A and B are shown apart, each in its own frame.
Chain A
């Protein structure tokens, strides 16, 4: 079994000149690296200032040395390292051909993110964590040729931080994309989570997935009622993940009563301010 390893720079390393330019050299110099199949790249020192393009290019340029890597996470940073919306991502276009053995790719941050022309025979999981997913990236995934993709998780986020679409964008995305082996669909972290719940419930993937992930958004009883009504007609669905939500206790209990595994943890209360009701998705920056 392969190993997991995280590579990142702390403040002193950054002060001493470490950055995107040195990251891949340092990874390749790690004596453990030939055994590491699960690579996580955290802070590259100045993620708000320097994008990770050099890291991505260096992986592509050293593709033979990365051939054993099956899982790659680029940008695993939290509030301690960098605002998610400030993480400067890059263009992943060259990676698809460079890493034919890659099975899982996770990307955090959507600023300057581009996936390029996505075509990969073996990729099984793609996750994008961000506060706002640009339509341009959604369209790249929509056109992607990923015949073995089993898990797709997309944080939709909010307009202020890059989501320039609406529920129709997601409807089109679900209609036009083609992932014949998809079993886990996550359309999460949205401020229009109720609308997106309806869109997902009407999508073609409902007949094939076993995990429906609508977590981290502003799901209210409106979306909850739709789930309660529709889920029983899909016996293929075994897991419903709606943790972090704005459901009432009654609705949460009813959903928990479905004969499948349901995660309704992290209940939130809407806030009232100046006569208006405010609800936030989990990651909105």
Chain B
């Protein structure tokens, strides 16, 4: 007997629209609820049954960045648990938990892409040159280290992101002008007045008071984060944008531009999406973008479906991969349209169930 299972959250769009895709393909997908994990996982008989498993991200409600750190860490533990479970070798994963975990680590993802010669948004390196990770617990103010690194590398504007974050959680766009010592910071993170902890909000704010800016930057640098160059993004009708592509089975199933009136383009921030075909990009640029998306997806053969965020540099439109996501398949413009992404996943499941070889 073979079963198609989604480990996810039954009431979410991800689950609902995968089920719709499955229905269309004539297969049935069962949902194991993350809230009952690991009991429900242990009760599943992986030894006796043939199982195709898709893992969705769990739902998190916290907006406190420290708390998000803990939740991601717990989630990584769960992915390890699945990967190490006795039945895991018999499971066919849509995306292997180890691959999903690897993409949760932005630095690791970037390192592998660079090794493969794929253009990425470059990291700012610390003085030792070994890593962009500004280390937790250093006595020396980390912001000072960062400012020195920025001057040394003539990178006067950077993005600082929690290494394991998702969405715009905690992301800071930071700019520094060394001559007069001016600073500017754009972020959705805000300090909770009562506790001083950084919390994520849905509003992009701009700060320029150097003391305040440095204190907020220091707060993020003290967590595990990645610092990378902030390249001026391409612009369309007065909005800057980046691209989100969903690559499945080596095909680009969806590509969306995320337009923004501020430097942070995540769609959760009331920014607006636009079909990439409406940008009027030349076929040469489109083909370059598609090529690096396929190459990037190819770096993780254990992942059949990946989300790829791509930046086009303003002016030259040179593409660079910003980050990737092993669970970046929820695109509202798709589910409310053709539902192509989940339909393809359902077709993969069907082919697997019919004994056909899938990539």
Chain A residues proximal to chain B, CB less than 8 Å: 8-13, 15, 42-43, 48-49, 78-81, 83, 86, 285
Contacts and interface: CB of A to CB of B under 8 A. Distances in A.
A239 to B, nearest CB: 20
Contacts, number: 57
B213 to A, nearest CB: 12
A83 B318 contact: no
B206 A285 contact: yes
B318 A49 contact: no
Contacts of B258: none
A80 B240 contact: yes
Nearest to A48: B177
Interface in B156-184: 156, 175, 177, 179, 182, 184
Given A10-B231, A11-B313, 18 more contacts: A8-B314, A10-B315, A10-B316, A11-B231, A13-B315, A13-B316, A43-B232, A43-B314, A48-B179, A48-B182, A78-B235, A79-B240, A80-B232, A83-B177, A83-B184, A86-B184, A285-B206, A285-B208
Given A42-B315, A79-B186, A15 B154 contact: yes
B95 to A, nearest CB: 33
Contact of B240 (A49, A78, A285): A78
Contacts of B326: none
Size band of the interface chain B makes with A: 20 to 34
A4 B283 CA distance: 22
If over half of A's interface residues share one DSSP class (helix, strand or loop), that class is named, otherwise mixed; here it is loop
B262 interface: yes
A81 B177 contact: no
Nearest to B182: A86
Contacts of B182: 48, 83, 86
Query: Which of B177, B206, B318 lies at the interface centre, i.e. has the most chain A CB atoms within 10 A of its CB?
Result: B177
Contacts of A81: 232, 314
Question: Which 9 pairs between the two chains have the least Cβ-Cβ distance?
Answer: A80-B232, A10-B315, A48-B177, A81-B232, A10-B313, A80-B240, A8-B315, A10-B316, A83-B184
Interface string B174-215: 010101001010100000000000000000001010000000
A27 to B, nearest CB: 14
B263 interface: yes
Contacts of A79: 186, 240, 262-263
B233 to A, nearest CB: 5
11 contacts: A10-B232, A10-B316, A11-B229, A12-B313, A42-B315, A48-B177, A78-B240, A79-B262, A80-B230, A83-B175, A86-B177
Nearest to A15: B154
B177 A49 contact: yes
Contacts of B175: 83
Nearest to B153: A15
A12 B154 CA distance: 11
Contacts of B262: 79
Contacts of B230: 80
Given A79-B186, A83-B175, A9 B315 contact: yes
A155 to B, nearest CB: 16
Contacts of B208: 285
Nearest to A46: B156
A12 B316 contact: yes
Given A15-B154, A48-B156, A80-B263, A10 B314 contact: yes
Interface in B235-273: 235, 240, 262-263
A61 B4 CA distance: 73
Nearest to B208: A285
A229 B254 CA distance: 53
A78 B262 CA distance: 9
A80 B157 CA distance: 9
Contacts of B263: 79-80
A10 B177 contact: no
B206 to A, nearest CB: 7
B141 to A, nearest CB: 23
Contacts of A83: 175, 177, 182, 184
Query: Which of A49, A79, A83, A86 lies at the interface centre, i.e. has the most chain B CB atoms within 10 A of its CB?
Result: A79
B322 to A, nearest CB: 14
Contacts of A9: 315
B258 to A, nearest CB: 14
Contacts of B313: 10-12
A29 to B, nearest CB: 16
Interface in B256-300: 262-263
Given A8-B315, A10-B316, A86-B177, A80 B186 contact: no
Contacts of B232: 10-11, 43, 80-81
Contacts of B154: 15
Query: Which of A13, A15, A86 lies at the interface centre, i.e. has the most chain B CB atoms within 10 A of its CB?
Result: A86
Contacts of A42: 314-315
Contacts of B177: 48-49, 83, 86
A27 B206 CA distance: 34
A13 B263 CA distance: 21
A83 B177 CA distance: 10
